[in-house]
Amino acid sequence: MNWLSLFLALLPLAAGQSNICTEATVTINSQADATALASCSKIDGSVLVGSTAVGNIAINGPSAIAGDLSVLNATGVTQLSSSTIQTIGGTFKLQSNAVLASMAFGLLQNVHVINWSNLPKLGAAPFTGPTLTVQMIFIANTNIATLPLFNDTTLMSTIDINNNPKLTDIFLNFNNISTNVVLDSNGPSALCQFPQLTLAANMTLKGCSQLDIPLLTVVNGSLGLYNNSFTTFSAPELISVGNSVTGAGTFAFDGNTALKNLSAPELKTVGGALQIDGNSDLNTISLPALADVGGAIDLIGSFSTPSFPSLANVRGGFSIESTGDVDCSEFQKEASSGIVQGSFVCKSKVPEGTTSTNPPTSSSSTSGGSSSTGPSTPNNNSPSSSGSSGISTGAKAGIGVAIPLLVIIVVLAVFAWRRGYNSLSLQRSTKSESSGSQSADPADPIEPELPLGGHHEKTELQAGLERPIELSGESLTNPVPQAHELYSPERYEVDGKTVQKE
């Protein structure tokens, strides 16, 4: 009997704990709320640490959260930890937690999305395990100094790590990134390391003091390196950037003022443009395997003669401007032979501060103050080079303005013609009806449709430009019959009665 009483007493408590484990969202406003989850082996929904929570929040007990783990605007929470959670099936979201200074998730191995932002006190990532599987990473405006995230097998979708001023060690061991990689404005001496990366969709790297991409083979979109402080760019396995079929994908180096060496010995294809500008210490440009560029080649700097010995096709223009000594003759031959399908510009020994990033508008070469100009010969085998490859930018702009204007003029002319035609047709129709009614026998008198004597026989003023006048109202002084009937030769009136003529 005592065992039955004890069972009945504990039943509501067990039921309550079971409900907490299966709720869509469990809200934690205190450590007591977090302790209530200790009996759950798994949280079927999401866990939200509320804005009124304060101090240390430890979520111990569950090994997995099927949904999200979120701490949003919890301005009093200083520490977040779990000694049991291994999997977060949704998003690990930390946003606008002003005093959150430390986290510890020693067993965490699988997270779908990491989304952390506006965490000014957070100084370290909470992961100490050997492997962490993540699909997306967004980390911005934190105080984190190191970010070791490991993944040896699975596909990574997106990485966006920006504006973390103390972040100096970015170690991302993913081999395939299917959407975007953005590293921007982190610590001034950040090490950007991708030791296992072989395939990426788009990469934008800014503010790296060292870049490690030893296995990178293909970038399906663009690869842009801006305002970095590394001295050497080395991509020994890189074969292609962009898509040569669609012409998309730019390979760009801009503002890397410490860059001295650029090495991509296996690079064969750039789908879009090849742009090198603002790299003041770069003296040598050599891409020995580069054969096909789907856009333009724009090189601006202080380098000597670039080397592209395998170049076979440039669908856009080719522009070189250097303060160094560049031999333009070989590039002029390539432009004349049709390798360069757009316009060609080569300027050597340009005075400091006079180089520009404007696209070339003509084919020219300049060396030591002398210059020669001439149109580049289009490649007749290319469908994109027929006729239009030599048109300047100004001419294209003029054509772009003239064609819509011509269309408007034609439309207005057609509208005016049709309006005049319709008016003329109406006049002809009126004259035709008038002449048709007068073509009857002139000897036959025309009977009026209404009997005379009323106001209806007032004539209308002839159309003209005379000043409009008011009709005379003399007839209004005559008495108006109470009623008028239409004239009929078959009826007549006798003593006020209508008689039908037989």
Q: What is the mean pLDDT of residues 342-367?
A: 68
- pLDDT above 60: residue 456: no
Distance CA 490, CA 501 (A): 5
Confidence of residue 440 (pLDDT cuts 50, 70, 90): very low
Q: What is the mean pLDDT of residues 314-328?
A: 95
**Chain centre distance of CA 100:** 35
Whether 100 contacts 71, CB under 8 Å: yes
Confidence of residue 195 (pLDDT cuts 50, 70, 90): very high
Distance CA 430, CA 53 (A): 90
- Sequence ranges of the domains in the chain: 27-129
Q: What is the mean pLDDT of residues 438-444?
A: 43
CB atoms within 10 A of CB 356: 11
Distance CA 463, CA 97 (A): 85
Q: What is the mean pLDDT of residues 340-361?
A: 77
Distance CA 254, CA 280 (A): 10
What does pLDDT average to over the chain? Answer: 79
Tell me what pLDDT residue 31 has.
Answer: 97
pLDDT digits (tens, 9 = 90+) for 39-53: 999 999 999 999 999
The CA-based dihedral angle spanning residues 478, 482, 483, 489, taken in that order and rounded to the nearest 10 degrees = -60
45, two tokens: 């929904």
Q: To the nearest whole percent, how much of the chain has pLDDT over 90?
A: 57
386, two tokens: 């027929």
- pLDDT above 50: residue 448: no
Distance CA 217, CA 20 (A): 49
Tell me what pLDDT residue 392 has.
Answer: 46
Confidence of residue 493 (pLDDT cuts 50, 70, 90): low
Of the candidates 305, 300, 304, 306, the one whose C-alpha atom is nearest the C-alpha of residue 288 is 306
Tell me what pLDDT residue 244 has.
Answer: 85
Tell me what pLDDT residue 295 has.
Answer: 96
Return the minimum-mean-pLDDT range out of 118-127, 198-207, 308-317.
118-127
402, two tokens: 């003239």
pLDDT digits (tens, 9 = 90+) for 130-143: 577 888 999 999 99
Whether 365 contacts 332, CB under 8 Å: yes
Report which DSSP code applies to 53: -
Q: What is the mean pLDDT of residues 370-389?
A: 37
- pLDDT above 60: residue 292: yes
Confidence of residue 310 (pLDDT cuts 50, 70, 90): very high
Instruction: Using DSSP bridges, classify how beta strands 76-82 and 54-58 pair: parallel, antiparallel or unpaired.
Output: parallel
Distance CA 228, CA 206 (A): 5
Q: What is the mean pLDDT of residues 417-444?
A: 51
Distance CA 330, CA 173 (A): 43
The CA-based dihedral angle spanning residues 20, 25, 31, 37, taken in that order and rounded to the nearest 10 degrees = 30
Q: To the nearest whole percent, how much of the chain has pLDDT over 70?
A: 66
The residues near 350 (Cβ < 8 Å, ≥ 6 apart) are 321, 322, 323, 366
Residue with tokens 């510890």: 104
